[in-house]
Chain A
Amino acid sequence: MSIIADHINYTYEIGTGFERQAIKDISFVIEDGEFIGLIGHTGSGKSTLIQHLNGLVKATSGTVYYNGQDIYDKDYDLKTLRSKVGLVFQYPEHQLFETDIFKDVCFGPKNLGLPKMEVELRAFEALRMVGLEENLYYQSPFDLSGGQKRRVAIAGVLAMKPEVLILDEPTAGLDPKGRDDILECLRYLKEETGMTIILVSHSMEDVAKYVNRIMVMNDGVLMYDDTPKNIFTHYRELEEIGLAAPQVTYIMNDLKNAGFDVNTGAITVDEAVESIMASVR
């Protein structure tokens, strides 16, 4: 069970004056149950790349394999793939439309043609997983806060029972609590269901805290693919491509330069505190 990208290339508007290569010879393997952060500056190709993984965009050359099968095979069922690889777009709350939350979450599984009972079971399960309070289930989605709306939208994708969940900047525009609620919900999903999660994010602090592996895109190229700790040692290179390290990384480097014997590999607040405590004792 895995996703394999094998030398994929993608060029927009081939043969016109606007031709532009958005994805340049990218290969990787994503195993089951990984929690991956995908980072890169605006326009680096992140969104184009994730749309390859459920077949919304077809590579100009190269292939994507899902569980060992070539998704570009003419017999391959892309419809099933799209229910297995769920994609949560930016600002997914704009896609909410039903009169109550429960109906909205039912919409996806209902369209799979499942029996009513199964549809409703899935909707309950999905809403439970995103931690939405039960007394809200039959209210209008439009009366919710930004963070709650977004969790409902994620529940809509979860009700499709995906094996892989891809989220494009799910915390943009949310307040710190709304952001933490979403990220904790993803951590819970990963631990509870073993789902593979790919998180596209501009927040280095969030990525550092939650994911096991980071992929860095720059100008259509997969520049780094490693553990968070290793990635953020390259913070100078990351700055050059419009990214950064978590604030903690800068704190630790400044402390080191000021003569403190601290671990510059610390990337979360907890790790930083632990290392500073050890060094001042």
Chain B
Amino acid sequence: MGIIKTENLTFEYIRRDDEGNVEGITTAVDDVSLDIQAGDFVAILGHNGSGKSTFAKHLNALVAPTEGTVWVDGMDTKEEEHTLDIRQTSGMVFQNPDNQIICTLVEEEVGFGPENIGVPTDEIWECVEKSLKAVGMYRFRKASPNKLSGGQKQRVAIAGIVAMKPKCIVLDEPTAMLDPSGRKDVINILHALNKQENVTIILITHYMEEVIDADHVFVMDEGKVVMEGTPRQIFTQVDKMKELHLDVPQVTEVAYELRMKGLPINQGVLTNAELIAELKRIQG
């Protein structure tokens, strides 16, 4: 069993009108079974309303399945005695950093989590320092989070999670509100945490180019996992991705269009270097 395993996970909620009468039932997550190995970098794609965020909330016991089971590091999320351990194992970062930051100083913000789980003071400071260094925000430790840019705030939010020493971090569109350099910083940090600290990363995003270096990609539609594989296997299917209201990285799209125009380019070009190699091969 991997660090995250779900078996026939289904989540339904009841829609009610203004008077509280039942209007219908929506199945937000529909029979999802998957197994994520420790140390993997996993991306989840899907259009708005496809069930990605609801799925993500199951991974640190913010919601419990209507049917089926979720195990986080072997713990069943339906068993309430595990809730705190699960949240410590699997930390979550949301889209808007302003909704997640509560303290007046960066270092206090990062120390908030460990303090709440009773880590001794000396260790807290050590941990805060290490976490801030991991996201490249150590020199801002005495700054007010209000004065930081969006990307910097999001890195502080990630440091706050890292300080809890989770085995797994789930990020729900962490770059949606960031400018290009903020986006790049956040993604680079996630890869560094993944490689150096062996933290499992589960990244939900709408930016296809952020997915290229993932180990594994899941695509969701109407609550179901409809595609899964390596980024190359996924992005080879340009038409299918567009059908699912998604996209592919621009270099993949350029290669696809060239192929459509008759150039014998191999499918699944993911990087500029691969495109160059293909064009060179064609020219002989």
Q: Which residues of A contact B (CB under 8 A)?
A: 40-43, 99, 143, 145-147, 169, 172-179, 202, 204-205, 239, 242-244, 246-248, 250-251, 254-255, 258, 260, 269-270, 272-273, 276-277, 280
B257 contacts A243, C-beta separation under 8 Å? no
Measured CB to CB, the closest approach of chain A to B37, in angstroms, equals 27
Judged by a CB distance under 8 angstroms, whether B49 is at the interface is yes
B182 contacts A41, C-beta separation under 8 Å? yes
Flag B25-55 by CB within 8 Å of A: 1 or 0 each.
0000000000000000000001111100000
A251 contacts B275, C-beta separation under 8 Å? yes
> Across the two chains, which residue of chain A brings its CB closest to B263?
A280
A273 contacts B258, C-beta separation under 8 Å? yes
Q: Which of A169, A239, A247, A254 contacts B273 (CB 8 A)?
A: A254
CA distance A247 to B49 in the complex (A): 27
B245 contacts A175, C-beta separation under 8 Å? yes
B179 contacts A243, C-beta separation under 8 Å? yes
Within 8 A of A (CB), among B197-223: 206, 208-209
B interface size (C-beta, 8 A)? 44
B180 contacts A243, C-beta separation under 8 Å? yes
The tally of CB-CB contacts under 8 A between chains A and B is: 115
Judged by a CB distance under 8 angstroms, whether B246 is at the interface is yes
Chain A facing B: main interface SS: helix
Q: Which of A202, A272, A280 contacts B178 (CB 8 A)?
A: A202
Within 8 A of A (CB), among B238-270: 245-247, 249-251, 253-254, 257-258, 261, 263
Flag B174-208 by CB within 8 Å of A: 1 or 0 each.
00111111111000000000000000000000101
A41 contacts B149, C-beta separation under 8 Å? yes
Complex contacts, A202 vs chain B, CB 8 Å: 178-180, 183
A250 contacts B272, C-beta separation under 8 Å? yes
B48 contacts A174, C-beta separation under 8 Å? yes
Measured CB to CB, the closest approach of chain B to A210, in angstroms, equals 15
Complex contacts, A276 vs chain B, CB 8 Å: 254, 258, 279
Q: Which of B95, B149, B272 contacts A254 (CB 8 A)?
A: B272
- With a 10 A CB-CB cut-off, give which of A176, A244, A272 has the most chain B CB atoms: A176
- Further 17 A-B residue pairs, CB within 8 A, beyond A42-B151, A147-B48, A254-B273: A40-B179, A41-B180, A42-B149, A175-B48, A175-B206, A176-B206, A176-B245, A177-B245, A239-B181, A242-B179, A243-B180, A247-B250, A254-B276, A258-B276, A269-B254, A273-B258, A277-B258
